[in-house]
Amino acid sequence: MKMTLKGALCATVAFVLGAGAAWADGTYNLFSIGEAAPMGQIEIQDDVVIDGETYASWWVPTAKITIYIPPEAAYVNMDANNPLVGKSFEGGWVANHTREELGSHACSETMKDHNGEDRALWGDVKWTLTALGDNYDFEISLGKCGDPVEPWAQSVDAKG
């Protein structure tokens, strides 16, 4: 699902601690895809409603962005054989920077966040669950201002 300029942000992001039926309630380290360089952490925040749809919101403090994903990507059964392993979820993100801070990196149009505030940098998300069971592992790809998504971060520190 693509985000539209006038539509609400959709989401993809996954996250869980423990075994069995679990829910996102913690913090995960992020690493760049490829070199596995540390990128800070991502933390689940709250469920939010955007245009009548519920999303799990995630905060990335080092990048000052909020990522939105469907709840089924965030609240999962921690089973290595869960059919969600390998599945991608679509969503969106917004930056919590001012247009002045962003300069030429800002999008030409704004996007509203879950609080109805216009954000000058935004895009689409693809959140892929890569492992469940002992760990809740995921990869995140981001697009900017309607451009196609590209690999961005992962929850494991593996090069590849």
SS3 57: strand
Report the predicted TM-score, pTM, of the whole model to 2 decimal places. Answer: 0.81
pLDDT at 80: 79
Tokens of 149: 């998504």
Separation between Cα atoms, residue 96 and residue 110, nearest integer Å:
12
Other C-beta atoms closer than 10 Å to the C-beta of 38 total: 11
* Cα 146 from chain centroid (whole Å): 16
On whether the CB atoms of residues 34 and 24 are closer than 8 A, the answer is no
pLDDT at 160: 64
Distances in Å between the Cα of 61 and the Cα atoms of 28, 98, 101 are: 12, 15, 16
pLDDT at 50: 84
pLDDT at 86: 85
pLDDT at 141: 97
pLDDT at 42: 96
**HSE-up (13 A, CA, CB side) for residue 147:** 13
**Ranges under pLDDT 50 in the chain:** 1-24
